[in-house]
Structure 1
Amino acid sequence: MHPRVHRFIRFASIAVTAVSLTYMAQRGNVRADVTAEKLNQVTSATRDLIDAVTPERPVAIHAFVSREVPRDYVTVRARLLSVLREMEARGKEGLTVRIVEPSSFSDEAVEAEEKYGIRPQVVANRDGDRVQEMQVFLGVAVTSGPHEQTIPFIDRGMSPEYELVRALRTVTQEKKKVVGVLRTDATIMGNFDLQARKQQPAWRVIGELKKQYEVRSLNPGAEIPKDVDVLLVPQMSSMTTAQLEHLKKYIDEGRPALLTVDPMPLFDMRLSPSEPMLPPPGQNQGMMFGMQDQGGEPKGDYLGFLEKIGVKWESDKIVFDTDNPHPRFAGSPPQVVFVTERPDGTKPFNAQDPVVAGINEVVVLFGGAIKPAAGFEAQFVPLLQTGTRGGFNKFEEMTERHMLFGLQGPILPRQRTMTNASEIIAAHITAGETSGEAASKGKNVIVVADLDIFGDQFFVLNERGGDLDGDGIDDLRFDNVTFLLNAIDTLTGDAGLVELRGRKAQYRRMTTMDALTKEADDKRNAEIEAANAKAEAELKGAQEALDAAVKKIQDDATLDETTKAVLLKSREEAENRRLAGKRETIERDKARALKATENERDKAVESVRAKVRLLASTTPLLLPIVLGFGVWLRKRSREAESIPSSRKRGAA
């Protein structure tokens, strides 16, 4: 055989072998996830769920995935297709997976919109310096007989495996579990505003729960139905005595509940525990020209109710924490608490409780503090806690009442009560069965001292992800949504999705940078506290001088009442002018001191960052320099070895 023909046959054989092996691997769905976090392979629970699908109750998955997506969505698309192919490979006859790549105005796009309600989303595509809009399909419909669950769009912050498994679990269930939401003054289920004559939408938390549960709005004045699997009570302090009795009966039966008690609900300050119940719909609400409505019915003894289930809550106490791990939120008040691992290594989560499994950080907005009630035998497991560099403020210190506009706040006070102790914001309370007069079937309650923790903004952020600059790395991640869903799942006894919610790309904080800048932050906080204390002391001294002058005139027995009144008015006006001037000077000096403190802190942080940048830019150069120097030494050594001995210096 001619050598040229022989080489051609060998090349053709190699090509056929490569194509055959590729085809076999593709048909066999042989894949390996070699990443560190293993996010591209499904969990064992997911595989068990796929294996449980039978021909007797078939399931069809229709995925509409665009062929071209912006760079920000490449990872989401890849993970979605990976999970779908894994399902297709493991699925038996009962599971059908159909992947469609629709384009705009194609028959597949029309089918997705008309049959399943899946529409393309307009997203920004950053290509170099240009930003243009793209219509992207990343939706899935899961059907099983009459049951259908649609995922309209899988955004950057959503886990494709979690969304698919949740939809698959929902359509294969005979009946959804029921989450009951009590109708309190906190209308998270939505409400019709009679004054504005428009419908208030439900909170996003309700829509998220409906993806997995049957959500019902319950009348708090009636007994809670027996088929309710878990109860959600928003702002429990807005309940009457009769309503609390129904709630007590429900909890004493051993049925699970999630109770929220917020000392300062930012979404509606009228729902604060210190305020009266809102009047019935249609009546004038608010305060006008000093006239305030009497409100609705009197509130029940919610503090006593909580103590009976093992929780003590000071309803006028608002916690703060001076530890703030996010430079982009450096200007936020300390009452915005970032519940995450502290610089000193303390962990605010109880790793043994599934409610906080896989949680990295939760944000609490002007929340309260709870602790175990004295003398009550129950298991009190803290779920969310502040750090040890914080304390609290009282409600009256952070609010004021305006004659025209009613209760106003939050107002950030100059002084804060430092406790340097960790405060508990949320806890899981369980108790065994008891007998006697206080007989009950045990307790299973989660109490959260903040309702703003479940605000709509956290659900939007959860969908869009924490990659703010589009570089594929999470800049921040708040797990408020995960915390809520884990709490509901744990209370219902179904923790099958808890592991999946925690399967996210690891959020890696620059801990070394945090440690280097900690000293500057500590110094800034100490100087701020000192400036506030000095201002308060000087103002207090000025006020004491005024009070002493007034008292001296009042105690002067040689003066008649008319003369006293004239002198008091004159002295008070003079002292008030002097006090106002001194207050302005004190505030100006305080602002100057705080500005200097901030500048010193910024200089110290910038110095640390400059050192880090220098190390980052020079360290990569060291290896090639060392390698080049080693090559040069080896070359010189080999040159020296090749020189004859007779030619070397000093040879005879």
Structure 2
Amino acid sequence: AQASFSQVFMGVAFTCGAEEEVIPFFDRGLPVEYELTRSIRVVAKTNRKKIGVLNTEAKLFGGFDFQSMRSTPPWPVVDELKKQYDVEQVSASEPIEEEYDALLIALPSSLPQKEMDHLQDYMEAGNPTLLLVDPLTIINVGLSPSEKAGANMNPFMRNQGPPPKEKGDIHALMTALGVSWNKAQIIWDQYNPHPDFAHLQPEIVFVGANNPEAFNQEHTASAGLQELVLLFPGSLRKAADSDYDFQPLVKTTPASGSLNYSQLVQRSFFGVQLVQPRFGHRPNPAAYTMAAHIKGESFPDTTNGADSDTTQTPTRVNAMVIADLDFISQQFFQIRQQAVGNLNFDNVTFFLNCMDVLVGDESFITLRKKRVRHRTLETIEEKKREFREEQLKEEQEAEAEASQALAEAQKRLSEKVAEVRQRTDLDDRTKEIMARNLQEAEQRKLDALKNKIEAKKEARIQRSKEEMEAKIRSIQSNIKVYSVFLPPLPVLGFGIFIFVRRYKREKEGAAAARRLRA
């Protein structure tokens, strides 16, 4: 083998006057063209946009974690923003008077009411804001809005120091923003285009371009995206009587539904832990919105006795809301840099697009979204979608049958106990003893019946999954067979055509030669 040598750039530094921009290392998954273009422009343009990051319990700038008694580093998203913007920490303990091109708020539900009021005043002045709300934060379940303030603290240190401030009314804040958001509703979706990740629970939501309504193609921030992953996200809707324009950016497939926060967590002395859902997944035909852009004006309501002749100052809003925080956690930045398993999610791209739209600088968006577009097998995807819908129907029917059988058994138990209690030939003590004995005996039967029904239900669901997987494997096998035998057919047909043509011409030539000799 012949050896060859070539220069490899491991990192690049750009300088322009006193400005310097350094890319220390080109990781495998790093978009080189985008990084180079951004670095050149940033270093050549000294007037950067200014981004504010509000101080919340999410601690995007890092801080001291009292639960683990150690310091936490800044989130990678802060370093990513610093490559393009001037980034500053912002406190809402006092009214926010500093001017920012955009304000980032992660977990506004963790703010005390006073800080939440200051944030609302800032947003209603028309200042661009990006809110990351989350019904269940995987990075720290104790930060979820359904938990009380300080739920993530070390249980042995709760009596030390001042108590944490109570959380504010996040529902009122979101309603003022024109958004209806249930802080205890977690969205799930059966869509999963990665066979290697088939074991993941549906609360890890994959959003793919194979669903035509997944991304809003009319909005700059979401148009052209290929795939997002959100972890236990929430759902957003336009609030009733809101005058603001509500534009959905990211949606689930119709094979999706919701669970309550209490179905997915378990509280104990040592904190909050995730558990497997105790109930089945029942789909809702309507798709859920997980990210939206809200903007416009709203005039105060004058129906409550206010003077309608007085000039009313409208409130202006320009905000984007994403119902998940974990989608910009460290693991997704690592996947983006290292291209782990050839995965290429648009989580970081979507976040930066939203920030660019808010600050009014969309020059990088087209370049950022530029990457190889992989075309999937549409027939298989369509069949998978049909099979998933059939599987969900099977699971829903199994759940309904199990619930009906248990309800009937419980009804029979209640009737037998009531029959004993209504007997007039027995004294109260005897009736109580007989009722208790009957209840214990019937309860054992009911428990055995529950186990039997649950096992039958699980067997039916498992059989449905196996049938779906078998059908998908059959389709894949057929496509493989077609891919082997169909491509040679045109060549074979063309070869037969040439052979017949040459044979015919040779035969005609031989006949002509015989006539000449004759």
Aligned to 2:304: none
Residue 264 (structure 2) pairs with residue 409 (structure 1) = no
> Aligned partners of 1:198 and 1:542: how far apart in 2?
54
Is the Cα contact below 8 Å between 1:517 and 1:608 reproduced in 2?
Answer: no
Aligned to 2:327: 453
Residue 295 (structure 2) pairs with residue 421 (structure 1) = no
CA deviation after TM superposition for structure 1 residue 595, in Å: 2.6
Higher relative CO (Cα under 8 Å, sequence separation at least 6) belongs to: 2
Q: CA RMSD in A?
A: 2.9
Q: After superposition, where does 1:285-434 map in structure 2 within 5 Å?
A: 296-342=164-210, 346-402=212-268, 404-432=269-297, 434=299
> Aligned partners of 1:280 and 1:509: how far apart in 2?
43
Q: Secondary structure of the equivalent of 1:355?
A: coil
Q: After superposition, where does 1:187-336 map in structure 2 within 5 Å?
A: 187-278=59-150, 284=156, 296-336=164-204
Q: Secondary structure of the equivalent of 1:148?
A: strand
Is the Cα contact below 8 Å between 2:297 and 2:316 reproduced in 1?
Answer: yes
Cα distance, 1:331–1:383 mapped onto 2, change above 3 Å: same
- Unmatched tracts of structure 2, length 5 or more: 301-309
Is the Cα contact below 8 Å between 2:67 and 2:152 reproduced in 1?
Answer: no
Aligned to 2:362: 495
> Aligned partners of 2:513 and 2:155: how far apart in 1?
115
Is the Cα contact below 8 Å between 1:279 and 1:295 reproduced in 2?
Answer: no
Is the Cα contact below 8 Å between 2:154 and 2:270 reproduced in 1?
Answer: no
CA deviation after TM superposition for structure 1 residue 573, in Å: 2.5
CA deviation after TM superposition for structure 1 residue 397, in Å: 2.7
CA deviation after TM superposition for structure 1 residue 505, in Å: 1.0
Larger Rg: 1
Is the Cα contact below 8 Å between 2:225 and 2:369 reproduced in 1?
Answer: yes
Aligned to 2:444: 577
Cα distance, 1:182–1:410 mapped onto 2, change above 3 Å: farther
Aligned to 1:511: 378
Q: Secondary structure of the equivalent of 1:231?
A: strand
What percent of counterpart residues are identical? 33
> Aligned partners of 2:274 and 2:415: how far apart in 1?
33
Residue 309 (structure 2) pairs with residue 442 (structure 1) = no
> Aligned partners of 1:283 and 1:401: how far apart in 2?
12
Is the Cα contact below 8 Å between 1:382 and 1:427 reproduced in 2?
Answer: yes
Cα distance, 1:248–1:646 mapped onto 2, change above 3 Å: closer
CA deviation after TM superposition for structure 1 residue 615, in Å: 0.9
CA offsets 1:506-550 (integer angstroms, 9 cap, x no match)? 122221221244433332232222222222322333333333334
CA offsets 1:441-476 (integer angstroms, 9 cap, x no match)? 62111111111222222111111236x3xxxxx5x4
> Aligned partners of 2:167 and 2:487: how far apart in 1?
66
Question: TM-score normalised to the size of structure 2?
Answer: 0.89
State which drifts further: 482-491 or 440-449: 440-449
Residue 433 (structure 2) pairs with residue 566 (structure 1) = yes
State which drifts further: 560-569 or 536-545: 560-569
Residue 337 (structure 2) pairs with residue 463 (structure 1) = yes
Q: Secondary structure of the equivalent of 2:109?
A: coil
> Aligned partners of 1:406 and 1:544: how far apart in 2?
37
> Aligned partners of 2:435 and 2:260: how far apart in 1?
34
> Aligned partners of 1:534 and 1:317: how far apart in 2?
26
CA offsets 1:350-400 (integer angstroms, 9 cap, x no match)? 222111132112122211111111112111111111122322222223333
Is the Cα contact below 8 Å between 1:279 and 1:296 reproduced in 2?
Answer: no
Cα distance, 1:181–1:603 mapped onto 2, change above 3 Å: same
Q: After superposition, where does 1:528-539 map in structure 2 within 5 Å?
A: 528-539=395-406
Q: Secondary structure of the equivalent of 1:255?
A: strand
Q: Secondary structure of the equivalent of 2:327?
A: helix
Cα distance, 1:350–1:517 mapped onto 2, change above 3 Å: closer
Q: Secondary structure of the equivalent of 1:596?
A: helix
Is the Cα contact below 8 Å between 2:252 and 2:287 reproduced in 1?
Answer: yes
Residue 344 (structure 2) pairs with residue 477 (structure 1) = yes
CA deviation after TM superposition for structure 1 residue 554, in Å: 4.1
Is the Cα contact below 8 Å between 1:362 and 1:479 reproduced in 2?
Answer: yes
Cα distance, 1:556–1:217 mapped onto 2, change above 3 Å: farther
> Aligned partners of 1:368 and 1:307: how far apart in 2?
15
CA offsets 1:237-285 (integer angstroms, 9 cap, x no match)? 1111100111012112211111122111122222222211127988856
Aligned to 1:30: none
Residue 492 (structure 2) pairs with residue 620 (structure 1) = no
Q: Secondary structure of the equivalent of 1:622?
A: helix
Which letter maps to 1:363?
V
Aligned to 1:541: 408
Of 384, 389, 399, which residue of structure 2 is paired with 1:522?
A: 389
> Aligned partners of 1:237 and 1:438: how far apart in 2?
30
Aligned to 2:500: 633
Q: Secondary structure of the equivalent of 1:348?
A: coil
Which letter maps to 2:194?
H
> Aligned partners of 1:567 and 1:422: how far apart in 2?
53
Is the Cα contact below 8 Å between 2:152 and 2:271 reproduced in 1?
Answer: no
CA deviation after TM superposition for structure 1 residue 67, in Å: 5.3
Which letter maps to 1:374?
A
Is the Cα contact below 8 Å between 1:264 and 1:318 reproduced in 2?
Answer: yes
Which letter maps to 2:205?
V
Which letter maps to 2:317?
K
> Aligned partners of 1:637 and 1:428: how far apart in 2?
71
Is the Cα contact below 8 Å between 1:280 and 1:296 reproduced in 2?
Answer: no
CA deviation after TM superposition for structure 1 residue 319, in Å: 1.9
Is the Cα contact below 8 Å between 1:342 and 1:387 reproduced in 2?
Answer: no
Q: Secondary structure of the equivalent of 1:217?
A: strand
Is the Cα contact below 8 Å between 1:477 and 1:507 reproduced in 2?
Answer: no
CA deviation after TM superposition for structure 1 residue 574, in Å: 1.8
CA deviation after TM superposition for structure 1 residue 596, in Å: 2.0
Aligned to 2:303: none
Which letter maps to 1:315?
K
CA deviation after TM superposition for structure 1 residue 407, in Å: 3.2
Is the Cα contact below 8 Å between 2:151 and 2:271 reproduced in 1?
Answer: no
Question: TM-score normalised to the size of structure 1?
Answer: 0.72
Q: Secondary structure of the equivalent of 2:34?
A: helix
Is the Cα contact below 8 Å between 1:185 and 1:238 reproduced in 2?
Answer: yes
